[in-house]
Chain A
């Protein structure tokens, strides 16, 4: 989709970007990361010709970008920056419609597209279309910034620390929303950040830069498991094993849960399964399969009283959804002091469990035994 061939950018004596080459495939999110001054923003600005490289070539969909006029090129590339830069004298709808208007779209299709995008970003078109940017919160403004970049449906999106100025809580929400949208739209995205957790959450590929050169280009999983040298190791931090867990979802490592319906003859079931059961505890569900709590088998066998041995729980507090990350699962285990956590679907039905031993196995990858 996009290819950089030995790109160099020099400012009199300083070399900001040095002989960089890499490709980003269609539909991929490539995150450029590195300490400040590593050249990540310079690279992104050379892609939409806000800056011209000193040497080297850039190809988008096989075409050298120098063949098109900068303005024409930019209209086909979405651009989101940290300070958003919404036009304060235009309404939200007018802001989103800027590029479509430049491209000569009809009024009706611009309005339709604006509403579609606001819906996509979870903002009510009736409420937001006629608002001025000054009346928006930081998170809302950033969503409009993304909507504006997506307005003309460009295949390529350049995002320069787009969520950098938003508070951590909102940032995480924006990242998750952005991933959801990306799954639908499948844009090719080049994303600049200095926030490693953001890179790990979003990236298909991470390009780690230092002083204008690529140090390592890899998937987040691999970079965290196999940092190439000491610089990468220091950059990803000593908790890289923990960070890496954020790349895996509960759904990928679900084990079968031993669950029993409360309506059944429980003592008979337990006696039948006795030797197969490894745990002291058993998940108990209602007739619809919804999680109710867990049963202490030994206590139950000793007293034969289900109410005595059953610990009722609120599924939302104890259980996880399948789209949670293993990092979140581990955090839940530690805070609850348990080694297995039930996993439920949208209707609170038990679909499996996730075990501490599974998570441990994953964290050991990439570390010497």
Chain B
């Protein structure tokens, strides 16, 4: 078990090193893209360096995910309490509805309200990542064995103690899975933000589409995909550390 965990850390470390190496060594990109697209004069997106784009992208993703995490946990806990039970269905319905809006449509609606740039993009990403987090929080808290909760109550734990010491630790694997899904989806979806000028890895993609330059598109898309793989690996190993594997 320990050996497997070490092996996992090593893979993540190697992926991270490779990622940073690629982000800061544009000459490799240039050579690779030039061979792939010999007809293009310019193969590297000129308006910002890849490092800046990655930074912008990560800010979009992390701010929106943290907001969604906070809201999702709060609502998830609320609707699984006796006081909030009545709201369980309506909250489920609203989040499912939010998910059915295409991201671009949300952006288009948000721009008149919040203007161009980061704000509407974070808003749209927030709406999209609430669903997996909230859903998983609810199902994690709702699927606990009733006898465990009865025993906890019968032994004299208060409601708060039951939540913090019994319910959340037991629901943690499911909640963590929801967070992981949200982050991975967000990394992909955040590229849409470039449409309204939020920057990030969507910028070279949009620019490449407009200028009919597949090299730009590949630069942004490949980096975003790599980022998603790393995030997935990183979060699942955090999950393994937080959740004791023995039981």
Flag if A84 contacts B247 (CB, 8 Å).
no
Would you call A306 an interface residue if the criterion is a C-beta within 8 Å of the partner chain's C-beta atoms? Answer: no
- Distance in angstroms from A281 CB to nearest chain B CB is 55
| Contacts A132-B246, A132-B247; A87 near B152 (Cβ below 8 A) | yes
Would you call A53 an interface residue if the criterion is a C-beta within 8 Å of the partner chain's C-beta atoms? Answer: no
- Distance in angstroms from B162 CB to nearest chain A CB is 10
- Chain B residues positioned under 8 Å from A73 (CB to CB): 156
Q: Provide the bound-state CA to CA distance between A84 and B148, in Å.
A: 8
Would you call B157 an interface residue if the criterion is a C-beta within 8 Å of the partner chain's C-beta atoms? Answer: yes
Interface residues of B in 155-172 (CB under 8 A from A): 155-158, 161, 166, 169-170
B152, B153, B156: residue with the most chain A Cβ atoms closer than 10 Å: B156
Q: What class of interface size applies to chain B in its complex with A?
A: 20 to 34
Q: Provide the bound-state CA to CA distance between A74 and B170, in Å.
A: 23
Interface residues of A in 47-64 (CB under 8 A from B): 48, 50
Q: Provide the bound-state CA to CA distance between A98 and B151, in Å.
A: 11
Would you call A347 an interface residue if the criterion is a C-beta within 8 Å of the partner chain's C-beta atoms? Answer: no
Instruction: Produce 1/0 per residue, A143-182, CB < 8 A to B.
Output: 0000011000000001000000000000000000000000
A70, A81, A87, A149: residue with the most chain B Cβ atoms closer than 10 Å: A87
Flag if A88 contacts B170 (CB, 8 Å).
yes
Interface residues of A in 77-106 (CB under 8 A from B): 79, 81-89, 98-99, 102
- Chain B residues positioned under 8 Å from A40 (CB to CB): none
Would you call B154 an interface residue if the criterion is a C-beta within 8 Å of the partner chain's C-beta atoms? Answer: yes
- Distance in angstroms from A331 CB to nearest chain B CB is 36
Of B145, B246, B247, the residue contacting A85 (CB under 8 A) is B145
Flag if B157 contacts A50 (CB, 8 Å).
no
Instruction: Produce 1/0 per residue, B119-156, CB < 8 A to A.
Output: 00000000000000000000000000101111111111
Chain B: CB-nearest residue to A79: B154
- Distance in angstroms from B13 CB to nearest chain A CB is 29
- Distance in angstroms from B6 CB to nearest chain A CB is 22
Of B154, B155, B161, B244, the residue contacting A89 (CB under 8 A) is B244
- Chain A residues positioned under 8 Å from B155 (CB to CB): 74-75, 79, 98-99, 102, 148-149
| Contacts A89-B170, A89-B244; A71 near B157 (Cβ below 8 A) | yes
Of A81, A89, A98, A133, the residue contacting B150 (CB under 8 A) is A81
Instruction: Produce 1/0 per residue, A298-336, CB < 8 A to B.
Output: 000000000000000000000000000000000000000
Interface residues of B in 233-247 (CB under 8 A from A): 244, 246-247
- Chain A residues positioned under 8 Å from B246 (CB to CB): 132
Flag if A74 contacts B166 (CB, 8 Å).
no
| Contacts A132-B246, A133-B247, A134-B247; A85 near B156 (Cβ below 8 A) | no
- Chain A residues positioned under 8 Å from B170 (CB to CB): 87-89
Chain A: CB-nearest residue to B155: A99
Flag if B166 contacts A87 (CB, 8 Å).
yes
Interface residues of A in 92-126 (CB under 8 A from B): 98-99, 102
Q: Provide the bound-state CA to CA distance between A173 and B152, in Å.
A: 27
Would you call A185 an interface residue if the criterion is a C-beta within 8 Å of the partner chain's C-beta atoms? Answer: no
- Distance in angstroms from B78 CB to nearest chain A CB is 22
- Distance in angstroms from A70 CB to nearest chain B CB is 8
- Distance in angstroms from B28 CB to nearest chain A CB is 46
- Chain B residues positioned under 8 Å from A72 (CB to CB): 156
- Distance in angstroms from B148 CB to nearest chain A CB is 5
- Chain A residues positioned under 8 Å from B150 (CB to CB): 50, 81, 85
Chain B: CB-nearest residue to A73: B156
- Chain A residues positioned under 8 Å from B161 (CB to CB): 102
The 16 sampled A-B contact pairs (Cβ below 8 Å) are A74-B153, A74-B155, A74-B156, A79-B155, A81-B150, A81-B154, A83-B145, A85-B145, A85-B149, A86-B148, A87-B148, A89-B169, A98-B155, A102-B157, A134-B247, A149-B155
Chain A residues with a Cβ under 8 A of chain B: 48, 50, 70-76, 79, 81-89, 98-99, 102, 132-134, 148-149, 158
Q: Ordered nearest first, which 4 A-B pairs have the shortest CB separation? A: A85-B151, A74-B156, A75-B156, A83-B147
Chain B residues with a Cβ under 8 A of chain A: 145, 147-158, 161, 166, 169-170, 244, 246-247
Please give 9 more A-B residue pairs, beta carbons under 8 A apart, in addition to A84-B147, A88-B148: A50-B154, A73-B156, A75-B155, A85-B148, A85-B151, A98-B157, A102-B161, A132-B247, A133-B247
